[in-house]
Amino acid sequence: MSEVEETVIEAVGLSKVFKDFWGRPKAKAVNGIDFKVKKGEVFGLLGPNGSGKSTTIKMLLGLLYPTRGALQIFNKSPRDVKTKQRIGYLPEETYLYKYLSAGETIDFFGSLFQLSGLEKKKRTEQLLDMVGLKNVGKRSVGEFSKGMARRVGLAQALVNDPDLIILDEPTSGLAPVACKEVKNLIKTLAERGKTVILSSHLLADVEDVVDRVVVLYGGQIRAEGTTDELLLVEDKTTITTPKMSKDVLEKVLKILHEEYSSEDMEITHPRLDLESFFLDVVNRARSESIHTAGAETGQVAEYLRSSSDSAVKEMAAQINVTDSEEEKARLQEKLEEKEASAKLAAIVQESEEKPQMESVDEKEALSEEAVAENSEKLEALVDQIKEPVKQAEPEVEKKSEEDLSKANDKLKQLLGGDD
């Protein structure tokens, strides 16, 4: 694949100047930036408020037109309708129709991309499960908290299985567990060859997933590169060892003091970051099957993990009805990628299932043993219940006869005595 085909986004001298009513320059939001984003790359777009991030994203979406410079997405203008069909977007604020349910919202966005009824239903179910809203899919989104609405927004951004995904503050309003799951999803999408543009003020989240970043300030790029290139401190060395005994530590310090002064050295124990500690606590609770009323995120939607047969058939049908040779070639290339991905997923699934087959007999034996044990307990419990009931039956019968006799005597008195 050539470099042109691998390049998803290319900006050259990109600028945007906002003007007042009289056409006079009011604010230079973006000032001559150059960058490229490759296929399958997670690209971080960073900067403080007012640095030009949102304006750049709006130009990528074709919502704003550049004042100067050139911008191409998939070698076409961002305003090209077919280009927009290949983009998924999660805005900074989640704007949803509050009277629609979560399922209806995803179905609505699926309709905009002209998905078939069957495909919409399948993707809606998979996406609701993926974002942890399977049990509340029929509730109106107007009743949702910010975090739950954010989950619906993420689902709608992926309903069309986009090749380019633009996420603006994707973890805003989400709990740490959900943030971790979103980051895992981003990695999965990148592994499938999707390109992700990530803009966030939560730099720890960005650092965990991005391949490259640009840092904007005043509408200009102030830094650009991979995280290793930008964050590596080359003039210092870190050595991590198992916990040292007092004698070993003294020997090491003696050697270090011969070369460095005390002011240049710092001896501490490694420390977990709070996010890692929190996730460890939650994972241990989950492993113990502790119940929670909170959202439990499911697996990544199947059609996002591997290409389904229906998706391949739909794409083949599109090729047959497309008149443009250029579009046919693009769809054919994408079809071949999906078919190859499906074959690879089948091989992986088969390899994962093999070890499980070896333990089927053991599982069946354990299951039969558990059923027999439960049956014995149930029979004993029934016997315990029956015994006191049988003992109580004569007493109930005797009491009923006494009540009947008293009632007859009272009736005779009311009628004027014995006949």
Query: Would you list the domain boundaries of the chain?
Result: 3-233, 309-357, 363-419
Residue-level pLDDT at 55:
94
Residue-level pLDDT at 146:
87
- Cβ(168)–Cβ(180) under 8 Å? no
Show pLDDT as tens, one digit a residue, over the chain (419 residues). 455 558 999 999 999 999 888 888 888 899 999 999 999 999 999 888 888 999 999 999 999 999 999 999 999 999 998 899 999 999 988 888 989 999 999 999 999 999 999 999 999 999 999 888 888 889 999 998 888 899 999 999 999 999 999 999 998 888 888 888 888 889 988 988 899 999 988 888 888 899 999 998 888 999 888 888 888 777 777 777 888 888 888 888 888 777 777 777 777 766 665 556 666 666 776 677 765 545 556 666 776 765 445 555 556 666 665 666 776 776 677 666 666 655 555 554 555 444 444 444 444 554 555 555 656 655 665 565 555 444 444 554 555 566 777 777 776 776 665 54
Residue 415 has φ and ψ, to the nearest 5°, of: -85, -5
Q: The pTM is what? A: 0.64
Residue-level pLDDT at 20:
85
Residue-level pLDDT at 360:
45
- Cβ(78)–Cβ(58) under 8 Å? no
Tokens of 327: 């579009």
CATH architecture of 3-233: 3-Layer(aba) Sandwich (3.40)
